Amino acid sequence: AQSVTQLDSHVSVSEGTPVLLRCNYSSSYSPSLFWYVQHPNKGLQLLLKYTSAATLVKGINGFEAEFKKSETSFHLTKPSAHMSDAAEYFCVVSDLGGNTGKLIFGQGTTLQVKP
Amino acid sequence: IAGITQAPTSQILAAGRRMTLRCTQDMRHNAMYWYRQDLGLGLRLIHYSNTAGTTGKGEVPDGYSVSRANTDDFPLTLASAVPSQTSVYFCASSLRGSDTQYFGPGTRLTVL
């Protein structure tokens, strides 16, 4: 069965410094992996998606994530944090083993950006 | 503007009352989903529908029902609300064969 673990519930960085949000996954298949962002009191927005075409995936707003099969990781990075990046981030795997089209969400990581 | 709309935006409800959360999409997506979001638990799937006329149970279906009479609408009903159903509810949709889901803005429901 697929599962996702976000290793940090809260990450705090200073504006202009790099961002690293960590995610490990477990899957019996070659998974589809996603990062979604949720700004306060807003819905979820797709940041990026991995589908095996390339291990380094570029998303919106300067974010990117690297799929590392040997480490079963899909960490999200950004070279320089901006105040507007403060939000909740979810690592997500698609439940390819079922017929629901279900997305399996990690617990979320709150990113705080300090001025 | 294409996308998913949900109504109401928020609601306070007395326990035991019936409530229907509405979801409408205009992207002609085949599949639709209902999730609930609770602190520290991420989002969990309540019910889903792969196409109009069919529905299925997700991870936490108890106390909820859905219907899918047409492609665009996917209402979620709480027959008799309980305080544990206090949550933020998100509707999502996707195209057939795609696992990329697009989310609505959410409904914040409080059951007292």
pLDDT of B39: 85
* Alpha carbon distances (Å) from B58 to A60, A66, A112, B35, B83: 30, 30, 32, 9, 20
Max CA pair span of chain B:
40
Instruction: Give the chain A residue nearest B38 (alpha carbons).
Output: A107
Chain segment B43-73, per-residue pLDDT in tens: 999 999 999 999 999 999 999 999 999 999 9
Q: What is the mean pLDDT of residues A6-19?
A: 97
Q: Hey, is the C-beta of B30 within 8 angstroms of any chain A C-beta?
A: no
Contact criterion met (CB < 8 Å) for B56 and A100: yes
**What's the CA gap between A48 and A34, in Å, rounded?**
6
Q: Could you tell me if A114 and A10 are in contact, meaning their C-beta atoms sit under 8 angstroms apart?
A: no
In this prediction, residue B110 has a pLDDT band, given cuts at 50, 70 and 90, of: very high
Chain segment B26-44, per-residue pLDDT in tens: 999 999 999 999 988 889 9
Chain segment A59-96, per-residue pLDDT in tens: 999 999 999 989 999 999 999 999 999 999 999 998 76
Q: Hey, is the C-beta of A30 within 8 angstroms of any chain B C-beta?
A: no
Query: Which amino acid is located at A1 in the chain?
Result: A
* Alpha carbon distances (Å) from A79 to A50, A74, B44: 19, 16, 31
Point out the residue among A49, A94, A108 whose CB comes nearest to the CB of B42.
Answer: A108
Contact criterion met (CB < 8 Å) for A101 and B59: no
Does residue B97 register a pLDDT over 80?
no
Contact criterion met (CB < 8 Å) for B50 and A101: yes
Q: What is the mean pLDDT of chain A?
A: 90
Q: Could you tell me if A19 and A76 are in contact, meaning their C-beta atoms sit under 8 angstroms apart?
A: yes
pLDDT of B98: 81
Q: Hey, is the C-beta of A40 within 8 angstroms of any chain B C-beta?
A: no
In this prediction, residue A12 has a pLDDT band, given cuts at 50, 70 and 90, of: very high
Sign of CA dihedral B11, B15, B20, B23: positive
Contact criterion met (CB < 8 Å) for A43 and B41: no
In this prediction, residue B1 has a pLDDT band, given cuts at 50, 70 and 90, of: low
Q: What is the mean pLDDT of chain B?
A: 93
Q: Could you tell me if A31 and A38 are in contact, meaning their C-beta atoms sit under 8 angstroms apart?
A: no
Mutation target for A interface from B43, B50, B54: give the one with most A CBs within 10 A: B43
pLDDT of A11: 98
In this prediction, residue A32 has a pLDDT band, given cuts at 50, 70 and 90, of: confident
In this prediction, residue B85 has a pLDDT band, given cuts at 50, 70 and 90, of: very high
Residue B90: CB atoms within 10 Å: 25
